[in-house]
Structure 1
């Protein structure tokens, strides 16, 4: 069967975390760069569809194509390693410690950011004919997204910061579920269906994904958005990253590890005086 049972894919999660933690610097950065670039293209694709159709649901329905492509190709997103690598550390895999964990997170961050900015520049060139005209309709929407999710949060102060954080938590609950869903099946179709569902939820609900934002906000700055790099980092990227870590670990990584990889002891079967299961146990 192409479906793997929870204890099986829980073991695959830990194995994947170990592999990523011990991967060479070159491979880690290359895979992260390509993941950031492909996800950025998917975001540009989804925004274009939304603008052209006027239906955000259509853009959300098609956005997961980028996520599926990058994971089928074996590339890595920061949101995924936030969830998987700590499991290898928790499981005491040889060579995996806090230093290797933070090294992996740092390298994937740099690679994702570089890939996302590369695509942001390319799309800005397309939307403005190499910065010789005003941004087209899609480019204008990208600028608006950047404003609403930076100065829009800032207008609400601490409450805006909390909203950004919670959106980050909910985002990586769904995104990490998509990462794990790819491990539930041994067939390409099964992996794609499993990944598609939670990614659709995250994107349509407008949750905050640190890597998608690495594309949206640089794009917005290049395309006339009225916010600063400081606004982006403080009001969006920082709370989003923290939220992504909390969401991925709390609702996906540690939860699945605790109940499928390190299960608790089963309770003994209650028995009556004649050695049979008592009526109260049924």
Structure 2
């Protein structure tokens, strides 16, 4: 998209969205929509996926580090908000609101989160040939590694700051036990995490969907919060979120080892997240609105 096209886009959207009725008394202007329709959202997913992919590697990796750091901040805030709350409903609500702050920072800042890329990139690829290009998979892997390193870096800084009290770490241990409960189920537990990961990124994909649909900052925050609260309350396994919790847990206690975190949670959750975001959000809506999508993706 050229600079002139970009500058003209708001005017074009206003003209498209404004409906005018005429009668004997003259014209009546109706306000335009305050959100994008689904086909526009899928098209925007593809545009964002292309923009991320075309960034220099240093920018991709730095934005991945930033996104991972926001996950640890979100994890910490979710624990702080819900700590000491006895009523389950309010506990889940506050915990979800806390973590939604991390996702809001990711979505608004344009940071590169592995689980969001699982929605954006497939939307780009489904409208363009060339799935086997090496830079696509390099980007996918670098975003995952960058998210882990960013989450761990913030956890280290928080630990060195000595800002958090003992009740926080007691609550953190409870969170970790809740997320690692599948460890006792063996192979069955591994596949349970995978299915839980599908559900988690289906919801986060819809958070990206709702956030993209909104045209104002308030709508973007609300669109982020609702699916995030649901996945946190349901204990659905979201790899990016768990990176924040596990980074804090790894430094705070020795209840679980690093390979248990990675191989018995992050790995199956990541596979599930890829399926949930790539198939149940990106592919599903791309196919459903295929005829409606007006996109320049893949065109020179």
Per the shorter chain, which TM-score range? 0.7 to 0.9
Picking from 45, 48, 61, the partner of 1:13 is 45
TM-score (norm 1): 0.84
The 2-side partners of 1:193 and 1:146 are apart by 27
The aligned runs of 1:162-173 (5 Å cut-off) are: 162-173=191-202
Q: Does the CA-based 8 Å contact 1:83-1:249 persist in structure 2?
A: yes
Q: Does the CA-based 8 Å contact 1:127-1:136 persist in structure 2?
A: no
Task: Provide the residue aligned with 1:60 in structure 2.
Answer: 96
Task: Provide the residue aligned with 1:149 in structure 2.
Answer: 179
The 2-side partners of 1:149 and 1:191 are apart by 28
Unaligned runs of 5+ in 1: 130-134, 265-282
Question: Aligned Cα RMSD in Å?
Answer: 2.1
Q: Report the CA distance shift for 1:232/1:257 in structure 2 as closer, same or farther (over 3 A).
A: same
Picking from 68, 75, 78, the partner of 1:46 is 78
The 1-side partners of 2:115 and 2:147 are apart by 10
1:34-82 residue CA offsets vs partner (Å, 9 max, x unmatched): 1111121011011112214342332223321221122111112100101
Q: Does the CA-based 8 Å contact 2:113-2:240 persist in structure 1?
A: yes
TM-score (norm 2): 0.79
The 2-side partners of 1:120 and 1:30 are apart by 17
Unaligned runs of 5+ in 2: 1-32, 294-300
How far the C-alpha of 1:19 sits from its partner, in A, is: 1.3
Query: Which stretch shifts more, 238-247 or 102-111?
Result: 102-111
Picking from 123, 145, 151, the partner of 1:110 is 145
How far the C-alpha of 1:113 sits from its partner, in A, is: 1.1
Number of aligned positions between the proteins: 257
Q: Report the CA distance shift for 1:63/1:154 in structure 2 as closer, same or farther (over 3 A).
A: closer
How far the C-alpha of 1:218 sits from its partner, in A, is: 2.5
Query: Which stretch shifts more, 58-67 or 157-166?
Result: 58-67
The aligned runs of 1:1-282 (5 Å cut-off) are: 1-54=33-86, 55-92=91-128, 97-126=132-161, 136-150=166-180, 152-262=181-291
Q: Does the CA-based 8 Å contact 2:95-2:229 persist in structure 1?
A: no
Q: Report the CA distance shift for 1:35/1:235 in structure 2 as closer, same or farther (over 3 A).
A: same
SS in 2 for 1:208: coil
How far the C-alpha of 1:88 sits from its partner, in A, is: 1.6
